[in-house]
Amino acid sequence: MSAHTEVPPQPLEIELAEEGIYVRYRDNRRVFYNGVPEAVEGTLRCRPGKEVQVLVTDGSGSEGVMTYVNELKTADEILESSGVGRVLLDAGESTELFDGVTARVDGVAIEVEADLAAAGGRVFVFEEDELGEAMYEITGPAED
């Protein structure tokens, strides 16, 4: 079994539709994230134990980049061929995933926040496990 490493993301084809989000990976697989994302302002704190994926689209919504945060199930070679990135963070660490989009580990939870002006597009977060999945869109900073 090979060790997992960080993998840089590559541009992916995105289709934003009423019924959900379609992502075409670089290996030509197409995945559908069903449903309307829940709007979140400020920092999104994901539930502990969930797999977390962050998708940032360009201004037109037709292209994007996706990164997994602390995902350890997928082989590096599969991520590289699909175009999906991966970052690995220890508790207390943070990193800028994309311009204006930061992920950090607070205890056992992953937090994601976004500066939409710097990101230049829309920011979606998917969290899932064998029991289900949830989809969020970060729509702006926390209200004071």
Q: How far apart are CA 137 and CA 16, in angstroms?
A: 12
Q: How far apart are CA 100 and CA 22, in angstroms?
A: 23
pLDDT at 144: 54
| Cα separations in angstroms, 11 against 15, 20, 115, 125, 128 | 13, 19, 20, 17, 22
pLDDT at 143: 63
Within 13 A of 78's CA, how many CA atoms are on the CB side?
9
Q: How far apart are CA 75 and CA 36, in angstroms?
A: 30
Neighbour tally for 144: CB within 10 Å: 3
| Segments of the chain scoring below 50 in pLDDT | 1
Neighbour tally for 45: CB within 10 Å: 14
pTM (2 decimals)? 0.93
Q: What are the residue boundaries of the structural domains of the chain, listed by start? A: 12-133
pLDDT at 1: 44
